[in-house]
Amino acid sequence: MAERRLSHTELERRLKRCQADYEAAKARVLSVGFICEGSLVERFTSCHKLNCRCQDPEHRHGPYFQLSWKESGKTVSKLISADDAARYQEWIANRRRLESALEEMRDLSRKAGEYTLAKDDHQYLGPIRPRQSRRSAR
């Protein structure tokens, strides 16, 4: 591994950087608000009735907000009122912030593990990129 060839000073420097970034990610986790699974899309639809205004793509019905998430491997969708859409949007954004902070913590931990062990000239034997397997599930 390339890290083993780095000087002790360079390993220390990188490890300190990992610690600072890790603390910053932890702070983001602590400050995150309530969360919601899934994603919200805004839809405009056509009812296909002749003479309805929706025949013009500029005047379709909507917006309708559709919340979708995975449940036991299946996609579940619910229509959300325009009034509530902003709340769901915020909770979903919070969940994405939380997940992104956690993924960063995973990556930083892996790097920190490599640097820590490399200082003793040991090799890191944990999983290489734990985030890969999680990402593909979404």
Least distance in Å: CB of 46 to Zn ion? Answer: 6
Contact range with Zn ion by CB under 5 A, out of 18-26, 54-62, 70-78, 103-111 = 54-62
Determine, following the binding rule CB under 5 A, whether residue 54 of this chain makes contact with Zn ion: yes
Do 97 and 28 contact (CB within 8 A), yes or no? Answer: yes
* In the complex, minimum distance from the CB of residue 79 to Zn ion, in angstroms, rounded to a whole number: 17
Give the shortest CB-42-to-Zn ion separation in angstroms. Answer: 17
Q: Measure the CA–CA gap between 2 and 28, rounded to whole angstroms.
A: 31
CB 65 within 8 A of CB 79: yes
Measured CA to CA, the distance from residue 80 to residue 30 in angstroms comes to 28
C-alpha 67: how far from chain center: 17
CA distance 105 to 113: 12
Binding segment (CB under 5 A) for Zn ion, from list 13-21, 40-48, 77-85, 111-119: 40-48
Q: By CB under 5 A, is residue 44 in contact with Zn ion?
A: no
Closest distance of CB 43 from Zn ion, Å: 13
Task: Note whether 52 binds Zn ion by CB under 5 A.
Answer: yes
